[in-house]
Structures are given as C-alpha cells and as structure tokens.
Amino acid sequence: MTVPRGEIFGFLGPNGAGKTTSVKLLLGLLRPTSGEAWLLGEPIGDLGMRRRIGYLPELFRYQAWLDAREVLALHCELAPLERSTWKDEIKAALATVGLTDRADDRVSTFSKGMQQRLGLAAALLGKPELVFLDEPTSALDPVGRHDVREIIRGLSARGTAVFLNSHLLSEVEQVCDRVAVVDHGRVIASGTMDELLSGTAVRVRVSGLDGEARTGLARFGPLDDEGDQLTFTKLDIERVPELVSAIVKLGGKVYEVAPRHQTLEDRFLQLLHEEDA
C-alpha cells in the first residue's frame, strides 16, 4: 500500500481494528513484530525523517500549565525548527486553527475541542510533508469539523500528504482521495472513492417482520438492520421489485423504498459484513 505526496488518504475501520496501532507503528512509537514500511523514503523509526512529519494523536493532551503559544514553541523546539521562524510559524498555526485570540491562555482553561485545535496547530508547524491525523474531529462541533476539512484540503493543495484516521465516514467521504478499510489488523479493501462506491444501496421502511423473517432476507446481500429501517448496503436496483415481493410474502408491510448510490457507510458495513461471513 502506498500513499503518494499530496494525497488525502483515509484509513477506516471499526473500533479496535488497528488504525491507531498502524499509525503508531509508522511513527516509530511501537515496534513492528514483522514487516517493513517507509515514510518519505526512509524506514520507519528514522529520527531524521520525523522532522518532516506532523502528528495529531487520537488521545490528545497538552501541558495544562503552559499557554497555547508555549505549547507550540515547545513543539518548534522539539521539531526542531530554526528559532527565527518560530514566531511566524506559531502565528500562522494559531490563525489556521482559529486560536489566535487564546494564544496566551493556559491550556487548562481550554475545552476539549480547543485542545484538539491546538494539537492540530502543533501538527502543522514547520510545513510538514506528511501529516497523520488520528480522529482529528472527535471533539469538534460542526463548525470545527468544517474548518478541519478545509485545513486538510489546504494541506493537500500545497503538496502535503494527509493520512486521516477516522471512523466518521461522512467526513472521510468528503475529503479523501483514496481510502483503505482495515479490520482485525488487515486491510480488507482499498481504492479511490469511485472504485469503492460503485454499487447501489436500497433503504426500505417496513413493519411486521420478525427476526426469522429478517434472516430470510439475507439473500439480498448485506443488511443494516435499524428496526423499521432496513438498508441493503449493496443491491442491484433491478432486484428491488423482487425484494418488495419477498418482504410482503414474509408478512411485512412496505411503506417506503429508496434506492440510492452507495455511501461510504454502506460500503463500509458491506465490507465488514463480508469479512465476518
């Protein structure tokens, strides 16, 4: 698997699939038991290569007793960046994440969302060539999520590769050029959005189907069962009449049938369903 420069790459998977572990392995925070990987042409674990990388951890926490500017100065020092560039780097990073007004406030006074913005600012210091963002919007409100998407697109536009770890599929769908789905530590699918989302999904609003009847619908492919709402995550549109007929035969009542293009969530659930099967 390769992620080229300037690409926004989404790394998806259910909780515990191995997304964060993979990122930690790539950053040299964990040692691999086997296998090889390279970042920016260097083997993982190379210290010099880390100068060219930005990282926002999933579990983000910063020194509560420092102010935002001091935290960023600390990261400039560890990066390490030329001291003469610190002021401009910090100013630009704070402006990008919308924390300019809080630059001199202690981190202890920050909300979780603001701390996540601060972490993103730290990851952007020094114009890294590759940025790892592990669940970068988990603590953000909708405005914050929109801002982060814009930041990610901006990074890509200037040639920075973005490795985005997320289980917020709508977000990934909006920004990523390519994705890989991982489960139980193994990549089970990868490709561009167009390659992955080629099928049709069908959502049906029903009543009167018991558990046994729902099992009887398994022949129509992977099913996301949400009670009254059944979503067949990959179903050829030509099979919709057959599906409706089958539901009625099983004693169900059909109130609505809505075929649509497969979303990333549909595809994701389909892949996991196939993996479990």
Partner 1 sequence: MPPILVFARLTVQEASRRRLLLALLILTLLVVGFSAWGFHKITTVTRTDGSPLPPEQVTLITSQLLIVVTFMYSGVLALSAAVVAGPLISSEVESGLLLSMLARPVRRSEVVIGKWLGLAALVTLYAAGSAFLELTAVSWATGYLPPHPIELVLYVAAEGLALLSLGLLLSTRLSGITGGVIALVAWLMAWIAGVVGDIGTGLQNSALQNVGTISHLLLPTDGLWRGAVYAMEPDVILAALRAAGTAGSANPFSAVDPPPTAFLAWVVVWFGVTLVLSIWSFRTREI
Amino acid identity at 69: R
CA angle (149, 150, 156) in 5-degree steps: 90
Q: Which is nearer to partner 1, 8 or 53 (CB)?
A: 53
For 21, the token pair is 């572990």
What DSSP character marks residue 137?
T
The span from the first CA to the last CA of the chain, in angstroms, equals: 25
For 218, the token pair is 């398994």
d(CA 142, CA 134): 18
Q: Is 9 near partner 1 (CB under 8 A)?
A: no
Long-range CB contacts for residues 32-39, cutoff 8 Å, separation at least 24: 39/130
- Pick the binder of partner 1 from 3, 8, 27, 164 (CB under 8 A): 27
Nearest to 255 by CA among 264, 242, 244, 270: 244
Q: Is 50 near partner 1 (CB under 8 A)?
A: yes
Q: Which is nearer to partner 1, 108 or 245 (CB)?
A: 108
**Least distance to partner 1, CB of residue 86, Å:** 12
Q: Is 127 near partner 1 (CB under 8 A)?
A: no
Instruction: Verify cis geometry, omega within 30 degrees of 0, for the bond prior to 259.
Output: no
Choices 8-16, 43-51, 144-152, 234-242; region in contact with partner 1 by CB under 8 A? 43-51
Q: Which is nearer to partner 1, 55 or 220 (CB)?
A: 55
Give me the 246-275 binding string for partner 1, x by CB under 8 A, dash otherwise.
------------------------------
Give me the 129-148 binding string for partner 1, x by CB under 8 A, dash otherwise.
---x----------------
- Pairing, β 161-165 against β 130-134: parallel
Q: Is 48 near partner 1 (CB under 8 A)?
A: yes
Which residues contact partner 1 by CB under 8 A? 24, 27-31, 47-48, 50-51, 53, 55-63, 65-66, 74-75, 77-80, 119, 122-123, 132
